[in-house]
Every structure is written in C-alpha cells, then in structure tokens.
Structure 1
Amino acid sequence: MVPHTLIPNLLTIAGTDPTGGAGIQADLKTFSALGAYGMSVITAVVAQNTRGVRAVTPMTPDCVAAQIDAVFDDVRVDAVKIGMLHNEGIIAAVASRLRHYRPAYIVLDPVMMAKSGDHLLDPNAISALKTQLLPAVTLVTPNLPEAAALLGALEAQSDDDIRAQLHEFSKLGARATLLKGGHSHDPAVSTDWLSDMARAEDEPIAFTSPRIVTQCDHGTGCTLSAAIAALLPHHDLIRAIRCAKTYLDGALSAAKALSVGQGHGPLHHFHAIWPTHPAAR
C-alpha cells in the first residue's frame, strides 16, 4: 500500500466510449472521483453510444505496448485496471509488459460484451485471456455471463453454482475473483461473491446491496472495477470492494440527474462532488 498522504497514480488499459459512460472515459472519471490521478492506454477506439456499438478499431499490439512503456518509463504506477482488450495480440502485449513492470495491483474486468449485446472480445481470444492474464492479476471481476463464457459453462443460477465457478477460477490461477451478481434474477438485491486465495477461509464473502432499478446503467462493470483499483493502494481488498460498491450504488442512484442519450445512460460518477441543482453550479 502507498502512504495515505500520497495521491495514487492509476493506469487504465481499455477501449474508448465517445459518450463517456464506459471504458477509458468511465475509468478516468472514477479515478478522479475517488481521489486518484488517472492515466490511460487505449486498446481500441470504439464507435458507440448509449444505444449500441457501431464499430471497433483495435490498436496494434505494438502501439499498445508502446503506450504502456511510455507510462511506466516515466511515472510511478500504483495500480492498473484492465478493461476491453479485444483480441489475442493485444492480450499478449499487455500481459508481457505487465509481467515486465510488475505493478503492485492489477484489476482485470474481462469485458466481453457491451450492454447492448455487441461483442467486444474476439471469442478466439478467450483462451489467451485465461492463460496469459488471469494468473497475473490481483483480482478478476467477471459478471455471470462473462464467468460462464470464460469457464465454458452454463451461467450460474444458484449459490452452489457460484461457489463452484469461483473454485474453477482459482484452478485457473486467479488469486482473487469477484463474481458479480448484477445479472441475477433476484428483484430485490444484487450480490457479488469474493473468493480470495490469500484468505485462510474457504467460504466466499458475499457483498449484498439493494438492487437499484434504472436504465442509466451503462458502464457499471467498468466503474466498479476502476473504483476497486483506485482504492486498493490505500485499502485491503475487502474494504476496497465494500467502498467501491458504496460508490457505485451512489453513482447509480444519482444517475437520473443526468440527461445523456436515449438508451442505457451513464452513471453519475461525480455524484458526491457536483452540486445537485444546476443553478448552484
């Protein structure tokens, strides 16, 4: 951990969102809202809005590697958040450079599909993600569909299914896995489950919060993983997750104050900072 008097430097490695709700833009907003200095490496330029993805232009692996080198050669990096990687070449480049620089904390959000249902990860790259990155990260944060795709299994339907899938992630080399329950069918609550190989206890930890029903949920996974990464330099993993979930709940609850787009709108990343009434700004 870095001293609490030191502002953490956070690096996000992900794709873009021109409407600002997900990807690099959401990560940088989250870092700033939680008191960290944000930096970014772009893996793909994504033409998307709140209604869907129109086009994806990936960077070359060499370009991604050069961006990572440029940051680490000059700046102390206290934690890394990884989002959309798109293809096997980019995964290999990111894994190689992070193995070289060995940052203290790496949070991997295995972005595979946009809220609209558009694919953001080449299915042929799933194996590379599992073998090259998964064993190297501090925490991986799949949602239920992503976990099923990574494990080649059916989507978890019960607590027993979730426990079994967390065990499978540990067998793949994941040091800690946060299996997010936002896609579950419980109308009242949303529960995320943490398995941490560093803990002596075998039983996973449940993080349960009231389900917030809103159409403004674009970038929820990006925001949660970025918040955890931003908090890890100053907190242990369990506290970082708890605080990140509190921040996420606030951003979801306040999202109705924004008027952005006609589909799945963004969260209000600065809900605790901006005045609530426009005239007060």
Structure 2
Amino acid sequence: MNNKSIVLIEVIIIIVLLAIIALGIVTYVTESLRYNISNINQDRALYLAQAGIMRVIVDYSDDDAWSSQQNVNVEEGLYYHIGGGSADFILVDASDPKVSGKQINDIPIYNISSTDSITITDMVVSWSFGGNIKKVKLGGNWVWNGTLSSPASLNITDFTILAGQSFAGLSQQVWEFSRNIPLGFSLTVTFIFSDNSSRKVILAQSQKAGNNEFSIKATGEVRSGNKVEARRTIVATYDTGNDKITSWEETQNHIMP
C-alpha cells in the first residue's frame, strides 16, 4: 500500500471521527434544548394554574361567587381551567358554631357558584367525644336519622343548594348526638356530592372554631396546536374571613376540558 492510500484512509477515519463527534454535539445540544423547553413549558403551566387560582379569588372578592371555566386563553398556546367539581362551591362558615346540649348549630352554608346547583348525597362525620350521631339537619330539614358511632358514613336525603343560595339561620344546619357535647370537642364533616367530589370541613377543633373557607382547583396548559406540551394542576383553599390562601398543593388529578 502506497503512502497516498495510507493518507487517504487516515483522512477518511478523521472525517468519520469528526462526524461522530459533531453528531454527538448536535444530539446533546438538541436534547438539552428539548429539556430546557420542556422545563420552561412546565413552569408556564404552573404559572397558568396559579393565574386560575387568583382569578377565582378576584371573582369571589368582587361578587361573593364564581363559576367553572374551561379553555381560558391567556395568549397563544397558553390556557387555564378552573373549577374541579361541586365540592369547590360549598362554603361552610364554621367560624362561630354554637353548642346546645347534644346539638351543634349556627353553621351557615353557601353555594358560591354563580351558575350551577350542587347536591349533597352523603357525608362522613367524625367526632372526639364518643356516643352516637342521631340526626342531621340541612337547610332547615332533617336529612338523616339513625344511630352510628364515629366515624359515621351517612347516606342522607339528597340536599340541593341552588346557585348563589345560602342557609344561614341559627338552626338550619344541626348535628345532634346521643350525649351532651363536652368542652374541648372536635368535629369534622366530609360532604360528598352527586358528582363524587368531596369536601372535608372542620366544624370544631379542640373547642376552637372551625373552617370558613372554600377550595379552588385550577389547571394550566401549554399547547402547540392540538398537542398539550405541559399540564399542571393546583388545589388551594381560601379563607374568606381572613382573605388568605390557607393551603396550596399540586395534584396530578387534572381538570380535563
């Protein structure tokens, strides 16, 4: 083999090596860009979900009500959805409950949806002082009676609250037990709705007043055409008495329009 052939082979080898190196660099840069773009889109989706949460708070602050909305377009390719189900629209004001012997009452409830009714079908009641639950009244009507110990799963008479409706009378909501309610008691109720959404409410915590808040769910989406590039969802609770967000967490249970 002459020197020219050897040189040619060496040149070819060098070219191949350079091509491999160049391909590796291009691949690395491309994947890095994709990773960075993906991260940027994830951040955008989170910011959009946060925007949805704040939109609900502003609407409620202005009108004492809000409504589910889907595909709210912030700008091209950027969307959010708000409202995760009936549970997001019940506001239970347990900021000043009253105890009278075996009963707890003076707990107003509101449907803060401006458009949709909500229906409570079941509830789970948990308390700290033994005995049994005997009766439950919602909206001035007895919706359940029986004898169950804590935690009690109650299949109540369906109770529908129209959009914007409230039941704020002293004895319109009553939970009655088999024994007198003692000092230092705790009481929690989980409301379950016809769409299978649920909302846990603290009516009393070691004798202290309970919640006066509602939950908010918002999903942010980044889209490219019909393709969703990123989707993130936040669930928050907002205290209407203090005008503060009291909890904030991310969930994989997205609002799907």
The answer to whether TM tops 0.5 is: no
What is the TM-score of this pair, normalised by structure 2?
0.31
Greater gyration radius: 2
Q: Which has the higher strand share?
A: 2
Q: Which has the higher helix share?
A: 1
